[in-house]
Amino acid sequence: MKVAAGGRWYAVQTHANQEDKAAFNLRRQGFEVFLPKFSRVRRHARKVERVQRPLFSGYLFVAIDMARQRWRAIHSTFGVVRLVACGDRPIPVPSPVINELLDRQGADGCIPLDPCNSWKAGDTVRVVYGAFADRLGLFEGVTDSQRALILLDLLGGKVRAVVDVDVIAAA
């Protein structure tokens, strides 16, 4: 996703939970839109599913060539609150920021988050969902398939368990 010559990326503030609606309407107007997302597990009514959520809640990026495009139309787009600006001039987002996000984007279009970076071996964690809910354990590391290895106190001893990183939290 490269910006045409003369174009730069700008941040657009959207209405709450309307990032996709704003992106759709901006694309219909001919703007190039970048809405970075991450994937997470959602649990509701005994159903577990993986959903994509915006990385920056309430914001997306749009490529604009200020000399050629009618950028003021962005302000009246459904789902958009405003173009982030100083006074009446939009503020460009530094290119390295956008390039870094684009480089980190996976094949599924999501930017992987590494929740295990906050834990190191030996940290106490709590299982928040599933068969071991509310149990404390010691964080050991992460498997190749990005699942957490933890030691649980069960049946009078330590038992190694492999769980999704989404089901553990700091104790």
Q: Which CATH class, in words, describes the domain spanning 115-170?
A: mainly beta
Residue pointed to by tokens 């001039």? 89
Predicted structure pTM score: 0.67
Q: Minimal CA–CA distance to 148: which of 156, 130, 157?
A: 130
Question: What one-character-per-residue DSSP string does 30-83 give?
Answer: T-EEE--EEEEEEEETTEEEEEEEESSTTEEEEEE-TTTS-GGGGGGSTTEEEE
The pLDDT tens digits for 140-157 are 887 766 678 899 888 778
Q: Which CATH class, in words, describes the domain spanning 8-104?
A: alpha beta
Q: What are phi and psi of 3, to 5 degrees?
A: -85, 140
Cβ contact 160:151 at 8 Å: yes
Contacts of 116 by beta carbon, 8 Å cutoff, 6+ apart = 139, 141, 142, 148, 165
Domain boundaries, the chain: 8-104, 115-170
The pLDDT tens digits for 50-94 are 788 898 999 999 999 988 888 999 999 999 999 999 988 899 999
